Structure 1
Amino acid sequence: MLNINEKRMKIKLRDTTDTIKVSKEVFDIDFKPALIHQVITSYIHNSRQGTKAQKNYKTIRGGGKKPWKQKGTGRARAGSIRSPLWRGGCITFAVTHKIVYKKINRKMYKLAMCAIISELLRQKRLIVLNEIKLNVINTNFIKSKMEELNIKFSKTLIITETCEKKIELSSRNISNVESIKVGSVNPIILINTNKVLITLAALRKLEEKFKI
């Protein structure tokens, strides 16, 4: 439910003559470079898988029994078959699996996302469409729609409310065009695109998701 006292602003739909009202709390936020940089670096850092752990002398299994007696065999002394000198043994200076999580609280993340979305809107890079309806997989339809909006050669992101398989398959073979559902929107994908096509239903869901 929308708050009656909430500050609203108007956005024009590009495929109709209608205008819609949206919240200024999401679509009219000042650009905040320091906050956005902090959120993006944290997002990238937390997306890393980390280094694959290696086995040191404490963590490797086996090798508890001395392979042969200390003296009298003519061979070098050996205390374990899991020695770092042996094949299949442990690693002398093993790399341990470390995950250092950089925490960003939810309010900071939402504010950064709203700042990015607002800047896209101010620069006229956020294009709102009433709907993108495809009955069959049709790449030429996506191409003609981009030509109609004069974004044919721009790196374009299409955002829909749910996973639209027909739109995804239709845009897959077009260079620099990607289609995602609104739940997959993140700061990296937004700042790395020139134009964002978003349906009205997805815009409403985005507004509800990032409203502070």
Structure 2
Amino acid sequence: MSRMAQAHLFDARSGNKSSLDLEGPRFGTEPNEHVIHRAVVAELDNRRAYTAHTKGRSDVRGSGAKLYRQKGTGRARAGDAQSPTRYGGGTWGGPKTKPARYGKRINRKEARAAFDGALSAKAADGEVYVVDSLAFEKPSTKQAKELLGNMGVQGPVLVVLTEDDANAALSFRNLPKVTVTGPREYGVYELLRAREVVFSRAAYSKLAGNREEG
């Protein structure tokens, strides 16, 4: 029987360190590399702006009439001014803005399995941290840096906070190698990018109690 995964539990106020058993399918899913790869590809594809867009012959201004007669002018035969072969004409075969129905897709079941698998891998490697008493009276980058140092976190770090941790979010966001996010604002890609994942106690409770997160 495999040993239950554990998180490093750190009390921000006292500095005490202990362990927290991570129960549930969130932290006990066998990682599937193929599904995780598909999820990362889909996430990154959905973030692309797809702003590249060229104008075809129907998009450029100009008459559709033939420029001059076919024969007798001594010039090469030519069609209208919108032809891709002419200066100022439309582009043939250029990139177009991605329609909403295209792009990489992954179904909800696979996405959840990928998220849980990536999170379980982090937990199995001892890279999940939960912080108790994460109370910042005011934003303080210095306090946030000292906290991560006392925890022994090296980074890159993904810090997951709730709306109640507003001062903490303002404190962590200025630190290098630290990405601050909300409970529903990160995916498989962010989990894989980070070396350690740090949850506030409230953010961890939301994650552990809600499988619809991923």
Q: Same fold (TM over 0.5)?
A: yes
**AA partner of residue 186 (structure 1):** G
**Inter-partner Cα distance in structure 1 for 2:93 and 2:18:** 66
**Inter-partner Cα distance in structure 2 for 1:173 and 1:9:** 31
Residues 38-53 of structure 1 correspond to what in structure 2 (within 5 A)? 38-50=38-50, 52-53=52-53
**AA partner of residue 195 (structure 2):** N
* Structure 1 counterpart of 2:163: 162
**Inter-partner Cα distance in structure 2 for 1:96 and 1:18:** 54
**AA partner of residue 200 (structure 1):** R
**Inter-partner Cα distance in structure 1 for 2:49 and 2:91:** 21
Aligned pair in 2 of structure 1 residues 12, 177: CA closer, same or farther (>3 Å)?
closer
Aligned pair in 2 of structure 1 residues 9, 96: CA closer, same or farther (>3 Å)?
closer
Aligned pair in 2 of structure 1 residues 10, 73: CA closer, same or farther (>3 Å)?
closer
Aligned pair in 2 of structure 1 residues 209, 185: CA closer, same or farther (>3 Å)?
farther
**Inter-partner Cα distance in structure 2 for 1:142 and 1:59:** 53
**Inter-partner Cα distance in structure 2 for 1:150 and 1:21:** 19
**Inter-partner Cα distance in structure 2 for 1:185 and 1:109:** 12
- Which moves more between the two structures, 9-18 or 89-98? 9-18
Q: Residue 78 of structure 1: CA displacement?
A: 5.2
**AA partner of residue 48 (structure 2):** R
Residue by residue, what CA displacement relative to the aligned partner does 1:74-109 show, whole Å, maximum 9, x if unpaired? Answer: 877654332334443212444444564232111111
**AA partner of residue 178 (structure 2):** V
**TM-score normalized with structure 1 length:** 0.77
On the 8 A contact 2:160/2:182 being kept in 1, the answer is yes
Q: Residue 69 of structure 1: CA displacement?
A: 6.5
Aligned pair in 2 of structure 1 residues 76, 116: CA closer, same or farther (>3 Å)?
closer
**TM-score normalized with structure 2 length:** 0.76
- Which moves more between the two structures, 69-78 or 111-120? 69-78
On the 8 A contact 2:129/2:197 being kept in 1, the answer is yes
Identity of aligned residues (%): 25
* Structure 2 counterpart of 1:127: 129
On the 8 A contact 2:63/2:82 being kept in 1, the answer is yes
Aligned pair in 2 of structure 1 residues 163, 40: CA closer, same or farther (>3 Å)?
farther
Aligned pair in 2 of structure 1 residues 62, 208: CA closer, same or farther (>3 Å)?
farther
**Inter-partner Cα distance in structure 2 for 1:104 and 1:30:** 19
**Inter-partner Cα distance in structure 1 for 2:146 and 2:7:** 23
* Structure 1 counterpart of 2:10: 14
- Which moves more between the two structures, 84-93 or 183-192? 84-93
* Structure 1 counterpart of 2:146: 144
**Inter-partner Cα distance in structure 1 for 2:93 and 2:8:** 61
**Inter-partner Cα distance in structure 1 for 2:164 and 2:110:** 27
* Structure 2 counterpart of 1:106: 108
- Structure 1's unaligned 5+ residue stretches are 1-7
**AA partner of residue 30 (structure 2):** D
**How many residues in Structure 1 have an aligned counterpart in Structure 2?**
204
Aligned pair in 2 of structure 1 residues 163, 191: CA closer, same or farther (>3 Å)?
farther
Residue by residue, what CA displacement relative to the aligned partner does 1:43-70 show, whole Å, maximum 9, x if unpaired? Answer: 2233333472322234444423455677
**Inter-partner Cα distance in structure 1 for 2:128 and 2:87:** 59
**1:84 match: secondary structure:** coil
**1:183 match: secondary structure:** coil
**2:144 match: secondary structure:** helix
* Structure 2 counterpart of 1:5: none
